[in-house]
Amino acid sequence: MQLEALLNFPRALPAMSRTVSDLLAEMNKDDPSPKRVSDLISQDPSLTTRVLRLSNSAFFRVSRKIGSAEEAVAMLGMTHVRSLVMAAALGSSFKNVPGVNLPQFWRYSLRVADISKSLAGVLRQNESNAFTAGLIHAIGDLIMHIAMPDQIAPLDMGTPPLDLQRAQAEMSMFGYTYAQVGAGMAEKWQFPTTIVSALNNQISPFEGEAYDPLGGVLHLASWRARAEEIQLDENGLVATFPDLVGLSLGLDLDSVLGKDPSEWSFSQALGAFID
């Protein structure tokens, strides 16, 4: 299936709910109303539950438990709440994806989000954008499995979705990767252009005319999370570390490993994605 056909395939891209659409419209304003945002979240009980689970997870290290959408907006700020709304909306949109272990997928994605946020802090990038981009960086994989399960199944057999060579295998077979699919989805869902660009460039963030530091962060964070998932030993980490991307960002192997999540399982946050 060609990329354009995939992005227009019925049911491949989850429909945005009216609540999420209204939230995005409000949060995209120059001066969004915190009360309007919290009221909109509160109108959707499922969205509220998912947002609160993420708000109270280890990612944000809040001083006390957040019990309402209004408290989430007040304590975390608008940029973080935007990330949580989009994450919660996506978590409720993908169910029973053929050939995908969804608990593993979201656990891995949460790891990438956590590492991306930490690396962005070191590089003085926008941490909220990095968290969001990390969380959805592989969403294209879900879309591909939904839209073309018969074509993707043979690839899964030889090169599983979290294999370090997965992107190269997809490019060889289809002429595009999960990165381009995810960027297309993010653009349709009105994500910021910085995030769309990072998703699109994450496989090769500094090649050709591309110079995408956030894409570079995603590249390193996804490498680290995949290495953990497939349990690479110390020699494997050294052998597979993306040296050129690290050099471009001024990060070496030890500095990336130093941003490992303090807790790899993310059991509490997973509740926002797995009912």
Please list, residue by residue across 237-258, b when 16 or more beta carbons sit within 10 angstroms of its beta carbon and e when fewer do. Answer: beebbbeebbebbebebeebee
Task: Please tell me the distance from the alpha carbon of residue 75 to that of residue 61, in angstroms, as a whole number.
Answer: 11
Structure tokens at 180: 């381009």
End-to-end CA distance of the chain: 31
Q: pLDDT at position 96, please?
A: 82
Q: pLDDT at position 67, please?
A: 95
User: What residues does each domain of the chain span?
Assistant: 3-15+96-270
Structure tokens at 161: 């979705």
Q: Considering only residues 95 and 123, tell me which one the structure prediction assigns the higher pLDDT.
A: 123
Task: Please tell me the distance from the alpha carbon of residue 46 to that of residue 183, in angstroms, as a whole number.
Answer: 26
pLDDT at 128 over 90: no
- When mean pLDDT is compared across 74-83, 136-145, 160-169, the lowest value belongs to 74-83
pLDDT band at 93 (very low <50, low <70, confident <90, very high): confident
Q: pLDDT at position 175, please?
A: 97
Q: pLDDT at position 234, please?
A: 97
Give the number of other CB atoms < 10 A from CB of residue 86.
Answer: 23
Residue 2 one-letter amino acid: Q
Range 261-267 contact pairs with CB under 8 angstroms and sequence separation of 24 or more:
261/111, 261/114, 261/115, 262/58, 263/58, 264/111, 264/228, 265/107, 266/57, 266/58, 266/107, 266/110, 266/111, 266/114
pLDDT at 20 over 90: no
Q: What percent of the chain has pLDDT over 70?
A: 100
- When mean pLDDT is compared across 6-20, 199-213, 215-229, the lowest value belongs to 6-20
Q: Considering only residues 50 and 260, tell me which one the structure prediction assigns the higher pLDDT.
A: 260
Q: pLDDT at position 275, please?
A: 67
Q: pLDDT at position 78, please?
A: 84
Q: Is 160 left (phi over 0), alpha (psi -120 to 50) or beta?
A: beta
pLDDT digit string, tens, across residues 151-169: 999 999 999 999 999 999 9
127-136 vs 102-123: helix crossing angle, rounded to 10: 160
What is the mean pLDDT of the segment spanning 121-139?
93
| CATH for 3-15+96-270, options being 1.10.3210.10, 1.10.287.70, 3.40.50.150, 1.10.10.10 | 1.10.3210.10
